Amino acid sequence: MNKTKAKLIVQTLSGIFTDKPALKFSSPYELLVAVVLSAQCTDNRVNKVTEVLFENYNTPQKMLALSQDQLEKYIFSCGLYKTKAEHILSLSRDLLDKFNGQVPKTLKELQSLAGVGRKTANVVYSVAFNGNAIAVDTHVFRVANRIGLVKADTPLKTETGLMKILDESDWSRAHHYLIYLGRSFCKAGKPDCQNCPILDLCDKKIKR
């Protein structure tokens, strides 16, 4: 796919989907925790969990008042709760020890936090701090490769490919558009190609 078609895909999706995440948060720290919880979990479920959790535990200091067992009980329904609880408590300690309790604003510093990988760092960097980044989750990986924006076999290669074919100013919003497209039309099991708003731009060339 060429850059002109890629740009047209972004422009088309911009009139359909929001460039904001579905996760609910009111601070960079809340966003960071929510993104950690969202791994292999729906945003709706995460929002239900954080609505309760963030009532009393919405800063690193407050979060560390919880033991791992206590935190696990709050986030149990998100799945992978033991690992997620460990990561949330570890990154909270790192924030206090290294960054005076504040979420850092650079990708390098975000990835230095315990339990924070590239995807999570990219989301926080782009959403909380308006940085240009592409976070490749399962939706972005599937959709970007299926429609032909990239041809890659790993999330990192997909991210690199998207960074090359998309204008840097479109990176962050395109990430959201591809997620929503994946949830609404370009689903994993049975994509709704006939009603897809970018069918004519898709390299699969499925006819209406």
Q: Please identify which of the residues 84, 94, 137, 170 carries the catalytic annotation.
A: 137
Phi, psi of 76 (to 5 degrees): -50, -45
Q: Please identify which of the residues 119, 151, 167, 205 carries the catalytic annotation.
A: 119
d(CA 170, CA 123): 14
Tokens matching residue 83:
């690992």
Q: Is residue 187 annotated as a catalytic residue, yes or no? A: no
Task: Choose among 71, 96, 94, 95: nearest CA to 84.
Answer: 71
Alpha helices in the chain (DSSP H): 3-14, 28-37, 43-53, 60-63, 68-75, 81-99, 107-111, 118-129, 138-147, 155-165, 171-184
**Helices 68-75 and 43-53: crossing angle, nearest 10°?**
130
Q: Are 93 and 61 in contact (CB under 8 A)?
A: no
Q: Is residue 19 annotated as a catalytic residue, yes or no? A: no
What is the set of active-site residues?
Answer: 119, 137
